[in-house]
Amino acid sequence: MRTLLLVFALFVPSGLMAQRPAPTSSPSADAAKPSGAMPGRLLLVLPFDNHTDQPNLDWIGEAIPDVLNRRLASAGFLPISRDDRLYALDHLGLPSSFQPSRASAIRLAQTLDADYVTVGSFSTTGTRLKVQAQILTVDALHMSAPIQGEADMAHLLEVLNSLAWGLAKQLDPRFAVAENTFVAADAKLRIDAFENYTRGLVESDPEEQIRHLKEAVRLDPSFSPALMALGKAYFVNQQYELAANTLGRLPRDDANAREADFDRGLAYFYLGSYLKAEDAFAFVSKQLPLPEVVNNQGVAVSRRGHDATALFQQAVAADPNDPDYQFNLAVAMSRKKDVAAALRAIGQVVKLRPQDTEAQDFQAKLRGEPQHPVAPSAPASPRLNAAFDPATQEGSVPLERIKRTFNEASFRQAAFEMEQMEEDRLGTLPPQKHAAALTEAGMRFFNKGLILEAEREFQAALQVDGAHSAAHAGLALVREQEGDTQAARADAGESLKTQPNVTAYLVLARLDLQANQKPAAAADVSSALKLEPQNATAHALRQQIESKGQPVP
């Protein structure tokens, strides 16, 4: 795998490194084998066996890993993606529908360097769904005690999220996020939208795949995994305009936004919309300047007639052993009439990929040699000083090469490495400042609607500084969001014991108003306004309370 850490440290904005690590895996360049993962955190979740007599429920077996992967990734574990799992099966010569035995599951896990494998099954009794899961520790070949869940089919997502919490606790007994936070994670997701999304993932017919994914998006337009899958399906089907429009609907702060914009940039590139392609690649490269992204940004810039040399140099610096990056640098240097630099770069291409005839021809042109010499009596002498003017030699300069795929795991590895550096930095701070940074990250997650991730940050802050007022206030927000009024009141009270703050007072005000305790709500809002007289949320609550006949002092 490429070593990217130095590039990230040099080029990634520091503001993107505020959250705590969400470690992940990364395959090597030539095998389905993640590397660089945090020890004991890499997890492979296999499709669950269908123990019903209803083949139409097979989709649930594939849906379970999707839910578990999303929840466990949010909890800081390293789940291996479905794409990586399918790649590994293909690497082993096995079909995607293969149901592994224990022995083959171990082999698959070893191929992916997984620390744990989650296996399980589901069955039904009437409308009730029963799910059972176990964790296999690969090194010790030890199978855990089963974790079970049961609920009505209408509550499929709740039981699967509860199962994910049980797995998280079994994997890490110190894990502090509440079960309710897991269960609430998909509270707004429609089960029929999720079913169509899953059926779209496993469908082999492109038209049926798109039909299911379109229906999932129609039923729940805010479910970003369905938008992502639909955009990718359009892209694979070469419906580039639809792909670009669909992928562009993901929020810019979505976890999949970078991957979406990479594909969106390719879609615009294939449509000839080079400015839009450049903008899409630039959005990604500003956050994670992986060489394939920087390279593609450079290709789009070049297609618009501008100099992209600096971008190609950046890609080469990040991965000097990729012949395409060297090729593009050679083209850029030739356009600048720096023949010596172009020859150095194209020489690397020929060395790295000897069968590259386009590179060989371009090297010959740069040297002033015949492209296809016929039985020369003596080797042609390179004419390094010969005049080479690409601008006046039509067709003499080839087009730059674009990367059509990116290594998703490299994206995750890049994010992990950046966040790990930030966590190491935060660990050197005094506890109060460390806790403050974690709490700020938690609030960013909370404001994006990522409640599980937010609670993880708030809990981590309290592990560093148990009396941190803002962390307790953040947890009060989480508990309020989940509907746990008792816990929300308790955390708000703990927060105010340490330091009066607007967040805790407003949580109490909303809870008091909900309980029809109008005088208490008025007092809470009054306290908040004394701290922040211009707080818009406090003023809105004040109007709401006064509309019910209760004056706010």
pLDDT digits (tens, 9 = 90+) for 386-416: 334 444 444 578 999 999 987 656 666 666 5
Q: What is the end-to-end Cα distance of the chain in Å, rounded?
A: 63
Say whether pLDDT at 429 is over 90: no
Query: What per-residue confidence (pLDDT) applies to 347?
Result: 96
Query: What per-residue confidence (pLDDT) applies to 27?
Result: 33
Share of the chain above pLDDT 90, in %: 58
Q: Which two tokens stand for residue 377?
A: 């009596």
DSSP 53: S
Domains and CATH numbers, the chain: 20-187 (3.40.50.10610), 429-546 (1.25.40.10)
pLDDT digits (tens, 9 = 90+) for 81-137: 888 888 778 877 777 777 777 777 777 777 777 889 999 999 999 889 999 999 988
Query: What per-residue confidence (pLDDT) applies to 397?
Result: 85
Which residue, among 9, 2, 3, 11, has the nearest Cα to 289 in the 3D structure?
Answer: 11
Q: How many CB atoms lie within 10 A of CB 359?
A: 25
Give the DSSP letter string of 95-115.
-TT----HHHHHHHHHHTT-S
Q: Beta-strand (E) ranges in 146-285? A: 147-152
Give the DSSP H/E element, type plus range, for residue 514. helix 502-514
Query: What per-residue confidence (pLDDT) applies to 6?
Result: 29
Say whether pLDDT at 248 is over 90: yes
Query: What per-residue confidence (pLDDT) applies to 30?
Result: 34
pTM above 0.75, yes or no: no
Mean local confidence (pLDDT), 407-435: 70
Which residue, among 245, 286, 250, has the nearest Cα to 267 in the 3D structure?
Answer: 245
Which residue, among 522, 509, 508, 515, has the nearest Cα to 550 in the 3D structure?
Answer: 522
Query: What per-residue confidence (pLDDT) applies to 141?
Result: 83
Say whether pLDDT at 380 is over 90: no
Mean local confidence (pLDDT), 7-27: 31
| Amino acid letter for position 368 | G
Give the C-alpha separation, 441 to 448, whole Å: 11
pLDDT digits (tens, 9 = 90+) for 176-228: 899 999 988 888 899 999 999 999 999 989 999 999 999 999 999 999 999 99
DSSP 403: P
Which residue, among 438, 439, 515, 527, has the nearest Cα to 477 in the 3D structure?
Answer: 439
Give the C-alpha separation, 332 to 338, whole Å: 9
Query: What per-residue confidence (pLDDT) applies to 448?
Result: 80
Query: What per-residue confidence (pLDDT) applies to 385?
Result: 33
3-state SS assignment for residue 386: coil
